[in-house]
Amino acid sequence: MKLSKKNRILLAAGLIFVIAGAVFAEKQLVYLEPSQAELAEYNGDFRMALSVSPFSGGAFLDDYKYQAGEITATNREELEKLYIANGATEMYTRIATKRYPTEDNIVYGEEDYNANFHTLQQGLELCEMAAKLNIPINPEIMCAYTYMDMDKQQAPDFKEYPDIYSLQHGKSWDELSIDEMCVVLEAYGKFVATEIIKTGCTVENWNIGNEANFGFAGVGIGLKTAVNPELEKISSWQKNILPYLGNSWLKKNLWNYNAVQMSAVAKGITEAYKEMGVDSSNIKFSTHIASVVSSPKNATTYFNTLKENGFPISVAGISYYPSAPSAYLNSTMLLKKIVTAINKECDLPVFIAEFSYPSGDVTGAYSGWDKVVKGYDFTQEGQAAMYQDTIAWGKSHGVVGIRYWAPDFKDWGSMSLFEYRDGGAGAKKALQIRQ
């Protein structure tokens, strides 16, 4: 039977629709467990990075007490001891280029929530605590003035570091070329590492940048920069589709530059070790991206681009928030595919640099993070099971550690690892079950 032209067009369209649907279903719903996972080499113990958050200091100013079993914490040091008693093997500090806390949160004429949480001074205080408690610490060098993540890009500001700022030779950050930026970033990396090493703490892993999917150190989507003026022209809707349709564009126009910037920071850190006569042969460098705005192809392209452009990356970091909205219907499917792909195609182990899951209603600023994963209700038992199962799967599939993000952050609501009540916070089941 001969089909009419109209019917042939309809048939072709139908076939395309069926094929597209099959491809979509395969990406969304199918994860085939490899008979033998191709794991990147990693020498070291699993990192249980359970650390006092940048926000815990405020709780103690309000006379909060944290309790887990028989242990009560009335200050940050006692709280970290509580975490150590519950399996913590690593602390964490996030460091912006803002050097000292200020009395208000005004930054560049606007209210900035993060203005006084991530200063260098506050970061060094946590490094001193880590040295005292004899626990390694993972510094995250953001190279942003107060904060950066997948939603927010911000350039560094070095005015509080006269010797480093002078290397800009009177230019603003957005006027610098990539080579000029790298001179400054190398000097900054050396300075910050020197100050951290002076505290006597042990650093085994250095993280450069925070959720750096869309930029780093002032070279990012939506920012004005002489490095690539095209970046400023990208709209929000264009940014949102780039991880799925624009990996080649991101590689050419953004990630190639970010890799060189990160390399400069890492070089400065290594120079600090050498100048101070401290062995740096075992330190590892990483950065991390947000998985909710990524895909297996996007993630592998990103980390391979960093490697190709000289960043000495040893561990690939990702944020994994199972209840947060993403392009995948099943967040655990996304995690497994990304982790498997990074190990196989990038030859890098994975560290889950941020993780949390609700134990109840999700309200406030994170009310949109309310996607219940099948089998893991928003209860204390569901939260604990999600945490445990993520760790168990990860240990056998190339995940080398996990950080439960901001476990003591009151404004995290049900995603915190504590149940808050007047004047105190009691540990939930997820914290008290040893992994």
The domain tally of the chain equals 1
Find the helix or strand (DSSP H, E) in which 337 lies: helix 331-341
Q: Looking at the domain assignment, is residue 28 inside a domain?
A: no
The answer to whether 350 touches 334, Cβ cutoff 8 Å, is no
296 occurs within a structural domain: yes
Phi, psi of 72, rounded to the nearest 5 degrees: -120, 135
Taking 50 as the pLDDT cut, the residues of the chain under it are 3, 8, 10-26
What's the pLDDT at 35?
53
φ, ψ at 200 (rounded to 5°):
90, 5
- Give the pLDDT of residue 8: 47
Q: Is the dihedral of CA 245, 250, 252, 255 positive or negative?
A: negative
Question: Does residue 143 fall inside a structural domain?
Answer: yes
**Helical spans, DSSP H, in 119-278:** 120-133, 162-165, 178-198, 236-245, 247-250, 256-276
Rounded distance, CA 295 to CA 247, Å?
Answer: 10
pLDDT of residue 2: 56
C-alpha–C-alpha distance, residues 350 and 204, integer Å: 15
CATH number for the domain harbouring residue 110: 3.20.20.80
13 found inside a domain: no
The domain of 306 spans 47-54+67-405
pLDDT reported for residue 311 = 98
Does residue 162 belong to any structural domain of this protein?
yes
Pick the closest to residue 377 from 369, 368, 386 (CA basis): 386
Say if 103 falls within a structural domain.
yes
Q: Whose CA is closest to 198, among 286, 135, 275?
A: 275
Q: State residue 364's pLDDT score.
A: 87
Write down the pLDDT at residue 16: 44
> Does 207 map to a domain?
yes
Residue 82 within a domain: yes
Burial of 279: CB neighbours in 10 Å, binned 0-12, 13-18, 19+:
exposed
* Res 20: pLDDT: 36
pLDDT tens, 337-346?
Answer: 999 999 999 9
Instruction: Give me the count of residues in the chain.
Output: 435
| pLDDT of 343 | 97
